[in-house]
Amino acid sequence: MISQATPGPNTYTALAAGPDFRHELTIKRSRFITVLRRVEEAATARKLVTELRKEFYDARHHCSAFVIGPDRGVQRSNDDGEPSGTAGIPMLDALLKRETRPAALTAGGAADLSDVCAVVVRYFGGILLGAGGLVRAYSESVSAALDAAPLVRRDRLQRFVVAVPHAEAGRLENELRSSGYVMTGNDYDAVNTQVGLALPDNEHAITAAGERLASLTAGRCTLAAAGTEWVDTRLRAVS
């Protein structure tokens, strides 16, 4: 086969790119302001914390948690002065345990949220919550924000090109498009048209496309790998 599927997860859920998402709860007179940002590297997550320390300079705590990567390989949390384990870890758990697809679609649901940083800014309201109360408050703050936040499904696609004589390119492109393939545009040289298409990054899809191409061209044309890309599809937030 010309190309094999790339190792690692080829689909996961992320916060939609765009402006930060904000949500606020009041629990026993304390204000918990949750800010969510799409992040793809730890430096961007840390930058959010720095920005919010300046914006909410008079707040007592700026607790944070983030998870990054298709395999969620980067995970960090910070209590920022709250009793150890009462803020950052509950916030991280809320991110990691978020089921982003209903159980009706996948057995037991799917907890695959990544590329998101959550910062909870707390203004103390004068009533002590206790360790258990803090855990619940920080977890609930992040969960409530995620309930309403815009989410996307990220799918990794493999890009391919097919070299075909100019006179046959239009027919082949139409046949592939009518078969449901995503066409990505063409390039041209003196002899051939390089017909571009994108496929889901899994062995079954790649094998099936190769077989379809062979059938359409009597085996004269093959898929040539041209890299991978991630594509976002908007989802509704799932509570």
pLDDT tens-place string over residues 209-221: 999 999 999 999 9
Domain count, the chain: 2
Predicted TM-score of the model (pTM): 0.81
Query: Strand pairing partners for 165?
Result: 192
The whole-number average pLDDT for the span 56-81 is 97
Single out the residue in 118, 149, 180 at which a domain terminates: 149
Q: Are residues 25 and 112 in the same domain?
A: yes
By residue range, what is the domain housing residue 169?
Answer: 155-235
Is 139 domain-assigned? yes
Q: Are residues 64 and 141 in the same domain?
A: yes
54: Cβ contacts below 8 Å, ≥ 6 apart: none
The whole-number average pLDDT for the span 107-112 is 68
Q: What CATH number did the domain enclosing 173 receive?
A: 3.30.70.240
pLDDT at 233: 87
CA–CA dist 184, 217 (Å, integer): 19
Confidence band, pLDDT 50/70/90 cuts, at residue 3:
low
Q: Are residues 168 and 114 in the same domain?
A: no
Q: How many CA atoms lie within 13 A of 51 on its CB side?
A: 13
Give kind and range of the element (H or E) at residue 116: strand 116-123
Between 164 and 100, where is the model more confident?
A: 164
Q: Are residues 138 and 174 in the same domain?
A: no
Q: Are residues 222 and 186 in the same domain?
A: yes
